[in-house]
Structure 1
Amino acid sequence: LRDGARVLVPVHPWQAAHVLKQSYGAGPAAHPLMSLRTLAMPGSVHVKTALSARLTSSVRDISVASIAASADLSSFGARFAARLDGLLHVTRTLGAATAHSPDLAAVLREAPEVYASPGEHVVPVAALATTGLPRSAAWLAAFARLALTVGLRALELGVALEAHGQNLLVVLSATGDPLRLVYRDLADIRVSPARLARHGLAAHGLPARVLTDEPLALRRKLFGSLVGGALAATAGSGPALRRALDAAVPELPRT
């Protein structure tokens, strides 16, 4: 976003009033998404704004380092997703800016809906429980199979996704079948340079904090978020999750 030569940094209204404590000109019309600080704007664009308040486990500002790494992470996301045969899309970062402060920064990303074909729709995994779809044991097993296939294949390549219910979205057919996944916000993934190298991928430009070849750290990142978070919440109970995993795991690809 620019005004002539000036870069415009989108600011959340709460941040302007309570942290920056000054008024700003009105920006484009937008509405908040599940994460509160991320806003949907016209033109299939989402903007993640700095919100210097503790929401769930963390203060949701945006570090200067995250802004600096955003372009390299976005490019990397496209490269590794291309290895997954169309089962995973990673939303691209369209731009990022900071006023050299975590309190005044923003990231513009593609809206996940751009990866839906006509008749399909995209749903955050955290919202699946409201749809009634997970009440079908067959549907839940199919979704678990898709999510685990993508997660394990990415892990084999060297990428451990933080696949919780807000970062992970599912593309559904017109009849509700889970077809493929969309992932947004690569800031907290973990990447194994050694595994990447075995598959002809490079970790050049990625921030040091996301790099690790420690298998336990990679597995904890993926399974803690995907199984303990996204799949468990979608299933709604331990027995339902167990049944879905029992049905899905035997059909997973060997990795």
Structure 2
Amino acid sequence: MPYDPPSADAYAAAPLLNCLLREIAQPTAEPGVHRLPGGRLLRVHGTRRPTRPELYDDLGPGRDDVGRLDPAAPDPHGTPHPLDHPALVKLVAEELRLHTGLDNPGLPAEMLDSREAVAAILAARAHTPPPDDPYRRSEQSLVTGHPFHPAPKARGGGPAAAWLPYAPEAYAAFPLTLLGVREDLVVEEGDVSALDALGEAPPGYRLLPAHPWQLELLGGALQQAFSEKHLVHLGTTAPDAWPTAAIRTVYDPARDLFLKFSLDVRITNDIRRLWAHDLRRLRRTDEAAARALPGAWLSDRGYRTASFAFEELAVLVRDGFGDLGDSGAPPLLAAGLTEGFDGSPLAATTDPEGWWEAYLRAVVQPAVTAFATGVVLEAHAQNTLVAVDAAGTPVKALYRDAEGVKLLTDVDREAGVDRAAGWERLVYTLVVNHLTETAGALTEHHPGFDPWPAVRREFARHDLPEATALLTAPTLPGKTNLLLRWTGADGADARYLPLPNPLATP
């Protein structure tokens, strides 16, 4: 039977349905059927990536008032009505209004924008061969993206022509724009010497690379700076860099260097600008993470920007892979392993138990050890790289992104968390967001495999009270991205609801 690739509707519906079912729907006694806040019944197909939503306009013949089927009824299922993506968005908005008493016309527009972005990405991928490098393939594989977000691929509502040349999912690669900033207007901290090797600045200026999409978004905002020669154009870099899954972070393979930029577009929950408060605490959080994760941390070395456009033109310099890139153990993005890409060792392994145990040893130990030293990683799958050996077996994890790090001992309210909140954050990012998704992907490729005994054994290895308690806790924290966005909460204001804990000892 020929393979029928997912449509844009299917890609866009899956994460939206995941949010709806996790956050406001209630399961009924019938598998796949869920009751919505307004009383209507919704059927979905599939589990980890639900698809083909069907709505029953009322209880339907043969159902009682809690949605249970009467097997003796002549037509117990009633008549389901398939929902395309616009109809699903309309339904979700109606149910959220009933559930919260609030309205948010902007979020449905983002959901529709996300679907249109997926359609543009699929069209581009149909005419562009995937990259040869397996690391790059893993970073640029995320067509679904965040599996529990209502609009994971929204790109600010602009036309696809504006952002598609910079989209990792479309296998983009592009030169960076080189600017010169007058020396007396440069603001920098940390080791940013790598920036000076990107080109040559004229006397009295310092090099500042810029993301071309960000410059387009800024439009005429920098016109005065150019007119007054505070800022000058210096051409572009060569060879090209390519965008990672994070979109605003690019990798320059010729220099083995990551660069992270401001991008004034909402991606998932936040406007992706390098905010001043994050930059000013960068050295503190990065140094703490580097101490806690020797050999397992890609350091954010420092930043450079212009005083007159501190956030808008900021660029952050991040370590490359160094010797790891030549060691025969190439890194792969954990989120790419979950989503799937050509050549993924998760799909190819013939020993799921051995592969999974190696994966857990690589990713859990650094994150839990860091917590024990007071560093809370944002250990979700998009912040985790996993190196594999020639057989595809995981051998090492690398974590990244000091912006998401929290410190248990930090008096800075925005950078620090107390121990209970820090552990909750780690459990969400590492177990719920990361391991649950990877386990689900592995199980799909190897039906019947139970991934959770190995996870229990891995956490039991750690002499940490929180790790021990995790093995008997009835629930895990699940982030409520749909409700966060609908109610207009701050993107960094995580709120959780309890999910059944598959780690709890049977």
TM-score greater than 0.5 by the shorter chain: yes
Corresponding residue for residue 419 of structure 2: 215
Aligned 8 A contact 1:11 1:104 in 2: yes
Aligned 8 A contact 2:380 2:429 in 1: yes
Does residue 187 (structure 1) correspond to residue 403 (structure 2)? The answer is yes
Tell me which amino acid in the other structure corresponds to 1:218: G
The DSSP-based 3-state class of the residue aligned with 1:102 is coil
CA distance 1:62–1:114, change in 2 (3 Å)? farther
Query: Offset at 1:51?
Result: 0.5
Using the alignment, how far apart are the partners of 1:76 and 1:7 within structure 2?
29
Does residue 247 (structure 1) correspond to residue 454 (structure 2)? The answer is yes
The DSSP-based 3-state class of the residue aligned with 2:281 is helix
Corresponding residue for residue 274 of structure 2: 62
Mapping for residues 52-201 of structure 1, pairs under 5 Å: 52-82=264-294, 89-100=296-307, 101-112=310-321, 114-116=323-325, 118-129=327-338, 130=340, 131-133=344-346, 136-193=352-409
Corresponding residue for residue 235 of structure 1: 439
Tell me which amino acid in the other structure corresponds to 2:331: V
Corresponding residue for residue 198 of structure 1: none
Query: Offset at 1:165?
Result: 1.5
Using the alignment, how far apart are the partners of 2:315 and 2:284 within structure 1?
16
Aligned 8 A contact 1:160 1:190 in 2: yes
The DSSP-based 3-state class of the residue aligned with 1:210 is coil
Aligned 8 A contact 1:169 1:182 in 2: yes
Corresponding residue for residue 248 of structure 2: 37
Does residue 12 (structure 1) correspond to residue 214 (structure 2)? The answer is no
Using the alignment, how far apart are the partners of 1:216 and 1:229 within structure 2?
18
The DSSP-based 3-state class of the residue aligned with 1:209 is coil
Query: Offset at 1:132?
Result: 4.4
Using the alignment, how far apart are the partners of 2:441 and 2:290 within structure 1?
34
The DSSP-based 3-state class of the residue aligned with 1:72 is helix
Aligned 8 A contact 1:97 1:107 in 2: yes
CA distance 1:237–1:119, change in 2 (3 Å)? closer
Tell me which amino acid in the other structure corresponds to 1:111: G
Kindly indicate whether structure 1 or structure 2 has the higher relative contact order, using CA contacts under 8 Å at least 6 residues apart.
1
The count of residues paired between Structure 1 and Structure 2 equals: 238
The DSSP-based 3-state class of the residue aligned with 1:7 is strand
Using the alignment, how far apart are the partners of 2:452 and 2:381 within structure 1?
18
Query: Offset at 1:207?
Result: 5.1
Using the alignment, how far apart are the partners of 1:51 and 1:152 within structure 2?
32
Aligned 8 A contact 1:113 1:122 in 2: no
Corresponding residue for residue 429 of structure 2: 225
Bigger Cα displacement from structure 2, 67-76 vs 165-174: 67-76
Query: Offset at 1:105?
Result: 0.7
TM-score (norm: length of structure 2): 0.43
Aligned 8 A contact 2:329 2:388 in 1: yes
Using the alignment, how far apart are the partners of 2:264 and 2:336 within structure 1?
25
Aligned 8 A contact 1:143 1:178 in 2: yes
Tell me which amino acid in the other structure corresponds to 2:436: A
Query: Offset at 1:6?
Result: 2.4
Task: Give the gaps of 5 or more residues in structure 1.
Answer: 83-87, 194-202
The DSSP-based 3-state class of the residue aligned with 1:219 is helix
When the two chains are superposed, the root-mean-square deviation of aligned CA atoms in Å is 2.7
Bigger Cα displacement from structure 2, 69-78 vs 40-49: 69-78
Query: Offset at 1:186?
Result: 1.2
Using the alignment, how far apart are the partners of 1:188 and 1:250 within structure 2?
28
Bigger Cα displacement from structure 2, 70-79 vs 132-141: 132-141
Bigger Cα displacement from structure 2, 114-123 vs 170-179: 114-123
Larger Rg: 2
TM-score (norm: length of structure 1): 0.82
The DSSP-based 3-state class of the residue aligned with 1:62 is coil
Using the alignment, how far apart are the partners of 1:154 and 1:237 within structure 2?
27
Aligned 8 A contact 1:189 1:221 in 2: no
Task: Give the gaps of 5 or more residues in structure 2.
Answer: 1-194, 224-232, 465-506
The DSSP-based 3-state class of the residue aligned with 2:357 is helix
Aligned 8 A contact 2:334 2:382 in 1: yes
Query: Offset at 1:38?
Result: 0.8
CA distance 1:173–1:239, change in 2 (3 Å)? closer
Tell me which amino acid in the other structure corresponds to 1:103: E
